[in-house]
Structure 1
Amino acid sequence: MKNEKKSWTKPELEAYVLLLCANADNKETSEEINLIRKHVDEECFAKIYAEFSGDNEEECLKKIEKCVASHEYSHKELCEFQAKMKEVFLIDKRYGMMERNMERILNRILY
């Protein structure tokens, strides 16, 4: 919880959100993790993954909401962010109800 006091960088926030996307269906696959690792450096991934692993979904959403408010995103950045989220959701060739609901919740927070 100590990281809540200090805001994440944009890449850290991105890693955290993408991890939540990967876990939306409660099945984190190696393909999803490898895809997330392509978007952030290894040090950032390790730090954020360690924090993410200790959080429940409610804590995740609160942290994301707080951090998004501390950054200014352009429309282009938000579109790119959303595309990365969709890529994580679809990499396992399944896009179920839980993933659709998580996407909807995250879009409300981001926009």
Structure 2
Amino acid sequence: MKTQKERWSRTELEIYILLLCANVDSKETPEELRLISTKVDEQSFDRIYNEFTRDTEEQRLEKIQDAIAVNDFSHKELENFKKEMHRIFFSDKQFSMMERNLDKILDNIIY
């Protein structure tokens, strides 16, 4: 993760969280990646995606927790994160057990 001085923007954090949601079943579909990539310019998406792919699952959750802790998100912003997460989870018209588990884990981190 970036140093404290260079912490993620809210959009970068959202992209990272959505990548985690898309990858929960160990495969990101083209549809999921398209939905995520439309939120940011291509260069930023590639940078965040490359960082994401280098991180372990534990590192990913720690980075999200750290980024949430240093940003002052409103309840509405957190709700919007949740809606976007569900868009990714349901992009394949299913809500698998792994997706439900990650949803609960992220709820604990985000709220």
TM range (shorter): over 0.9
Q: Where does structure 1 lack aligned partners over 5 or more consecutive residues? A: none
Q: Can you list the C-alpha shifts for 1:53-93, whole angstroms capped at 9, x where unaligned?
A: 10111110001000110101111111111000000000011
Q: 2:26 — aligned with what?
A: 26
- TM-score, normalised relative to structure 1: 0.93
How far apart, CA to CA, are the structure 1 residues paired with 2:45 and 2:39?
9
Q: Say whether 1:78 aligns with 2:78.
A: yes
Q: 2:88 — aligned with what?
A: 88
Q: 1:108 — aligned with what?
A: 108
- TM-score, normalised relative to structure 2: 0.93
> C-alpha displacement at 1:40, in angstroms?
2.1
Q: Where does structure 2 lack aligned partners over 5 or more consecutive residues? A: none
> C-alpha displacement at 1:99, in angstroms?
0.5
2:104 aligned partner, one-letter code = R
Q: 2:8 — aligned with what?
A: 8
> C-alpha displacement at 1:41, in angstroms?
2.3
How far apart, CA to CA, are the structure 1 residues paired with 2:37 and 2:64?
19
